[in-house]
Amino acid sequence: MQHPTTGNRRTWLTRSAGLLVAGALPLATPAAAPTPLEVWKDPNCGCCQDWLDHMQ
């Protein structure tokens, strides 16, 4: 015969372990590769370089 708290402890540990694993899954995913960006510069506008600096 099991002690009355054994089932509660086992349930708590099982749920805690499941939450820990589920919470760690996003940390295990690889980072996305950088997306290439094509910029068309207008010779009459001076803001293109500022925008490029911001995007980097």
Domain of residue 21, residue span? 9-55
Q: Looking at the domain assignment, is residue 1 inside a domain?
A: no
pLDDT digits (tens, 9 = 90+) for 3-15: 666 678 888 888 8
Q: Looking at the domain assignment, is residue 31 inside a domain?
A: yes
Confidence of residue 50 (pLDDT cuts 50, 70, 90): confident
Q: Looking at the domain assignment, is residue 45 inside a domain?
A: yes
> Vertex 17, ends 25 and 19: CA angle to 5°?
50
- Count how many domains the chain has: 1
Q: Are 48 and 41 in contact (CB under 8 A)?
A: yes
14 phi, psi to nearest 5 deg: -65, -45
* C-alpha Rg value of the chain to the nearest Å: 27
